[in-house]
Amino acid sequence: MEFPTRSSPYLPVSNDVSRLMVRVMLALIPGALVLSWFFGWGIIFNLLITTSTALLAEAAVLQLRGKPVRPALLDGSAALTGLLLGLSLPPLAPWWIPVIGALFAIVVAKQLYGGLGYNPFNPAMIGFVVLIISFPLQMTLWSPPTGIGQEGPGFTETLQLVFSGKPPDGETLDSITMATPLDESKTQSGLNLTWDEILSDPRFGHYGGYGWEWVNLAFLLGGLWLWKQRAIQWHIPAGMLGGLFVISLMFYFADADSYGSPLFHLFSGATMIGAFFIATDPVSAATTPRGRLYYGAGIGILVYIIRTWGGYPDGIAFAVLLMNMAAPTIDYYTKPRVFGQREEQDD
């Protein structure tokens, strides 16, 4: 009797890239739901547009490169990039904003570098940064969160806004959008208001901004589930949240009037989705256990710096990309001590 041969190990495998991606997508659901609850249909449109554009772009480029299309589409990585980008765009952005972002993320940031596993930068964040640099105005089109008094546009209004770019009759874009707490706090802080004065505005909610704190809690929940599922390891989120917490605490203690509290920083903007879903993109992150901790901490500190002194309201995308650049170096200097090697042999 003849048997086929191959190399060990032989046990059936349960792990799979698409399974991993699907779990990340599932974990995004609570955050995505809360985000759309507070910011309306625009979020859903963004997600639909970015995801379909990402999938189409992935298929088109793979076809051009002469690579098999089906397995790559089924691995879920392109869809996930689309989702992550979609979740970071303002809900009232015109339709071409998510299209350009997704195209750039997939075509340039991912496929031009060789496709899945070969991109040095986080594709979704490249897409985001291209947009925020090129179209700063369109990237501020956030509707006010539901329940803040001023109601955001409904389904048809949003549809009209997104696809024609024209605000509903009798209204201007300015009248239906609102700055996010991070943006607002930066402006106000620049006007020499104290944090207590800034936070007295109802749109700042309890600690992280009205609506935003719930969004962040939802992403935190999804992220913890992801960690329990062993789809991500704790190092990067812990490093990032820890870094952000420590640096914000230091400045808060030094001057609580001029600097936001650690709680504000942890629960506003894209902190939680950044910590659990964006910084943890394995392809572009550091990989050694110690390195992942440093990598996360670097992102946390950079986020604080950009938020506090930089030119953009939130700093997740820039912080992640900057640390992407540092990842190979971090990996090089944080090689774990091999079993049986003495400390002095370690560098």
- Window of 5-13, 176-184, 190-198, 205-213 that interacts with another protein by CB under 8 A: 5-13
**Residue 19 is a binding residue for another protein (CB under 8 A):** yes
Cβ 229 to another protein, closest distance in Å?
Answer: 12
Comparing CB distances to another protein, the nearer of 7 and 192 is 7
> Is 346 within 8 Å of 329 (Cβ atoms)?
no
How far apart, in whole angstroms, are the C-alpha atoms of residue 250 and residue 261?
Answer: 10
Cβ 347 to another protein, closest distance in Å?
Answer: 11
Cβ 78 to another protein, closest distance in Å?
Answer: 13
What are the CA-CA distances from residue 54 to residues 28, 58, 80, 118 (Å)?
17, 6, 9, 17
- Window of 4-12, 33-41, 183-191, 247-255 that interacts with another protein by CB under 8 A: 4-12
Cβ 77 to another protein, closest distance in Å?
Answer: 8
**Residue 2 is a binding residue for another protein (CB under 8 A):** yes
What secondary structure letter does DSSP report for 6? Answer: -
Residues 262-301 close enough to bind another protein by CB under 8 A: 282-283, 285, 287-289, 292
Dihedral sign, CA of 23, 27, 33, 35?
negative
Between helix 96-103 and helix 123-134 the angle, nearest 10°, is: 130
Using only C-alpha atoms, the chain has a radius of gyration, in whole angstroms, of 21
Q: How many residues bind another protein (CB under 8 A)?
A: 44
- Candidate residues 11, 137, 191, 254; the one interacting with another protein per rule CB under 8 A: 11
Q: Which of 306, 341, 336, 311 is nearest to 323 (CA)?
A: 306
- Candidate residues 27, 34, 75, 205; the one interacting with another protein per rule CB under 8 A: 75
Residues 195-234 close enough to bind another protein by CB under 8 A: 230, 233
Comparing CB distances to another protein, the nearer of 74 and 133 is 74
How far apart, in whole angstroms, are the C-alpha atoms of residue 34 and residue 93?
Answer: 19
Cβ 205 to another protein, closest distance in Å?
Answer: 36
What are the CA-CA distances from residue 99 to residues 39, 162, 340 (Å)?
20, 12, 52
**Residue 194 is a binding residue for another protein (CB under 8 A):** no
- Candidate residues 8, 172, 196, 309; the one interacting with another protein per rule CB under 8 A: 8
Name the residue with tokens 């339709």. Answer: 95
Comparing CB distances to another protein, the nearer of 196 and 347 is 347
Residues 106-145 close enough to bind another protein by CB under 8 A: 115-118
SS3 236: helix
- Window of 129-137, 182-190, 309-317, 328-336 that interacts with another protein by CB under 8 A: 328-336
Cβ 346 to another protein, closest distance in Å?
Answer: 10
- Candidate residues 276, 314, 339, 344; the one interacting with another protein per rule CB under 8 A: 339
CB crowding 308-326: b at 16 or more within 10 Å, else e: bebebbbbbbbbbbebbeb
How far apart, in whole angstroms, are the C-alpha atoms of residue 264 and residue 137?
Answer: 25
CA angle 128, 129, 133 (to 5 degrees): 120
Cβ 328 to another protein, closest distance in Å?
Answer: 10
CA angle 275, 281, 283 (to 5 degrees): 150
Which residues contact another protein by CB under 8 A?
1-13, 15-17, 19-20, 71, 75, 77, 115-118, 230, 233, 282-283, 285, 287-289, 292, 331, 335-342, 345
